[in-house]
């Protein structure tokens, strides 16, 4: 057997680029240069649908801040909570300081520039275990919450993260009329 080996070029992973076609060209080229296979979505809602349908396909999501309304930045927090394996990168941040600050607060990992990815956030999922314990010790523990009878989250999800009821089940329950015993039969 000879000592010759051929270089193997494997993709780093798959990335989903979110923005209008004009906004996607620069991030698409940068991510492909880094070795990512890329898919594209025109809007954040289409991107969220794609990720929900195929959650383990993507490793990174690149969001163009020029193509998002500030209200749509909550997508970052949702992706961070539901899919912690995803890296969330921001592109086209010039002149969008308020949106950039909100995106970082919601959990974006960093910025995508022409020269590559620049991690600016330290999310718990991306920190080595020895550094994580140091950060946890430096962060004060949250105060314990008093038990409440009903919270907003109790209607949204079960403890496992899955919806308690489907939309159709909830609609059916809301449309049902309560059955009352006849007037003469009181227990």
61 and 89 in contact (C-beta within 8 Å)?
A: yes
Q: What is the pLDDT of residues 41-97, one digit of tens each?
A: 999 999 999 999 998 999 999 999 998 888 999 999 999 999 999 999 999 999 899
Query: Taking a C-beta distance cutoff of 8 angstroms, is the pair 26, 38 a contact?
Result: no
In Å, how far are 64, 180, 187 from 177, measured between CA atoms?
48, 9, 21
pLDDT in tens, 89-130: 999 999 899 999 999 999 999 999 888 899 986 554 444 444
- Write down the pTM of the prediction: 0.60
pLDDT for residue 128: 46
| Sequence spans of domains, the chain | 13-121
Q: Average pLDDT over the chain, rounded to whole? A: 76
Regarding the domain delimited by 13-121, which CATH topology (the fold level of the hierarchy) does it fall under? Rossmann fold (3.40.50)
Q: What is the mean pLDDT of residues 143-166?
A: 48
């Amino acid at each position: 057997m000879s000592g010759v080996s051929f270089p193997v070029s494997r993709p780093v992973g798959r990335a989903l680029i979110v923005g209008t076609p004009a906004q996607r060209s620069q991030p698409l080229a940068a991510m492909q240069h880094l070795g990512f296979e890329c898919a594209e979505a025109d809007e954040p809602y289409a991107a969220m649908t794609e990720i929900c349908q195929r959650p383990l396909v993507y490793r990174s999501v690149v969001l163009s801040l020029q193509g998002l309304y500030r209200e749509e930045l909550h997508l970052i927090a949702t992706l961070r909570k539901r899919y912690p394996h995803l890296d969330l990168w921001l592109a086209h941040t010039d002149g969008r300081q308020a949106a950039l600050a909100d995106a970082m607060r919601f959990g974006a990992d960093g910025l995508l520039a022409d020269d590559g990815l620049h991690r600016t956030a330290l999310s718990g999922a991306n920190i080595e275990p020895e550094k994580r314990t140091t950060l946890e010790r430096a962060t004060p523990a949250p105060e314990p919450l008093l038990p409440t009878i009903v919270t907003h989250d109790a209607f949204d999800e079960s403890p496992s993260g899955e919806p308690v009821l489907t939309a159709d089940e909830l609609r059916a329950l809301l449309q049902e009329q309560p059955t009352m015993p006849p007037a003469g039969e009181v227990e």
